[in-house]
Amino acid sequence: MLSICSAREADTFPKGATVHPRTRTTPGRRGPDTTLELAELLSHTARRLRRGSSVQLAPLGLTYAQARVLRLVAAEGRPLRMADLAAQLDVVPRSVTTTVDALEATGLVARHADPGDRRSVLVALSDHGRHLLDRLEAARRDSAEEVFGGLDPAQRHQLLELLGVLCARGACVSCRGPGRHVPAGGDR
């Protein structure tokens, strides 16, 4: 059994080798707890993705949280309410305010009063923010390639399908957006 490893160490394993985290057996079970192993490997992979993203985003002057806000506003194609951003990011509204403050200070977004609700503030991409999107996507692609580059196309597709099922079954607001219902079988 191999332990969780760095990308450099993973390159030394034969193709198809299985990498297992170091988990303890659950009391009452004979072998390792597969559910705990999955959780550990997924957490480890998520940390690698986030670390890689942070490295790729630094030259753009962005943090991981700022990049997420820019991507959400861009994906919506229209200004978003601060409350909707907080819901999609699954964070408290104050966290979004801090992130939007920083993006606004660098000229990447602008705030506007919501004409339909004077209590709400809308966040829109600025021209500068729109121009940065291509570089932002390239940085994300590079960091994802570092993590998933060792998988062949069929493995990538399988992982994509499985993670999609987990998001659909977990009623993941980040994947679906607020207020969208996902049927029991997913939304494919």
Q: Is the dihedral of CA 133, 146, 85, 110 positive or negative?
A: negative
CA 148 to each of CA 6, 140, 157, 161: distance values in angstroms, whole numbers, following the listed order: 13, 12, 11, 14
Q: In the numeric block, which tokens belong to residue 107? A: 């000229």
User: Which residue shows structure tokens 């987990």?
Assistant: 166
pTM for the full model?
0.69
Read off the pLDDT of residues 36-74 as tens digits, 9 standing for 90 and up: 999 999 999 999 999 998 999 999 999 999 999 999 999
Read off the pLDDT of residues 118-150 as tens digits, 9 standing for 90 and up: 888 999 999 999 999 989 999 989 999 999 999
- Residue 12 pLDDT: 46
How large is the average pLDDT for residues 92-118? 93
